[in-house]
Amino acid sequence: MLAQLLLRANNIVMLDAIIDELWGDKPPKSAVPTAQTYIYQLRRQFEPGVPDDTPEQALATSGAGYILRVAPDQLDLEAFLRLSAEGRAALAAGDPATAGRLLRQALGLWSGPALADVKPGPAIQAHTVHLMEQRTHTVELRIQADAMLGRHRELVGELKAMLLTNPFNEWYHAQLIKSLASSGRRNESLVAYQHLRRTLSTELGLEPSDLIQQLHQEILAGRDSWSDWDALERSWVEPVGQ
């Protein structure tokens, strides 16, 4: 219940939605009073000794639902979303140094998978999937900022580790290929491309995307300016929700 209220902080969560999240399509006959008891217990945790009719309660009743009020940045989730959006805007404005700093701050608020210790119902599960996608996109933007700053050597190890758990993510493969080539490791870059090609062909019956094939041709030709690649890449990594 607390997770549901926090994910919808400063918005009304209807009692029916709370019951659906807690018990699904088989709520007990006592679902309403039980949920109300949970709300009472949470309210006592937030505001011990405060009468139920006190104005501007942190956890307040609103019609047939409840609203948990939080201040700006009081919740890590809100701070993460703000910092991520500011970092994305800085990157789009051509300021990768500021973008990298903001995106690192955003990612620093994470200590593990979203809501890892909460047994989710359908609503929380949907929020969790969305949050993990937001985090993944923020990581991609931070990598992009570091690449624009020329931190290719530092990215190689991180990208190799990420590919162990994301072997079919062509964007990570492309970043590794580019980072290796930009670090003077052209032969390893070409090997990385061939590894991607074999993986996609063997497991999925696919060839690398046209964009990565173009990157491969640039490396074979000995070009390392990446001007065409960078322009294409910016259109590949789109902000989540846009």
Instruction: Tally Cβ neighbours within 10 Å of residue 7.
Output: 22
State whether 64 and 10 are in the same domain. yes
Residue that is last in its domain, among 17, 48, 68: 68
Give the model's pLDDT for residue 237. 52
Tokens linked to 135: 């985090």
Residue that is last in its domain, among 34, 49, 68: 68
236 vs 242: CA distance, rounded Å? 12
Give the model's pLDDT for residue 63. 87
Report the number of distinct structural domains present in the chain. 3
Low-confidence residues in the chain, pLDDT < 50: 239-242
State whether 64 and 77 are in the same domain. no
State whether 94 and 116 are in the same domain. yes
Tell me how far apart the terminal alpha carbons of the chain are, to the nearest angstrom: 30
From 131, 130, 123, 114, select the one nearest 16 (Cα to Cα). Answer: 123
State whether 96 and 77 are in the same domain. yes
Give the model's pLDDT for residue 170. 93
Residue range of the domain that includes 114:
72-149
Residue that is last in its domain, among 50, 68, 86: 68
20 vs 105: CA distance, rounded Å? 35
Where residue 76 sits, what CATH number does that domain have? 1.25.40.10
Helix (H, G, I), strand (E, B) or coil at 206: coil
State whether 159 and 204 are in the same domain. yes
State whether 157 and 216 are in the same domain. yes
State whether 157 and 145 are in the same domain. no
* pTM score above 0.75: yes
DSSP secondary structure letter of residue 75 = S
State whether 179 and 198 are in the same domain. yes
State whether 77 and 143 are in the same domain. yes
State whether 35 and 88 are in the same domain. no
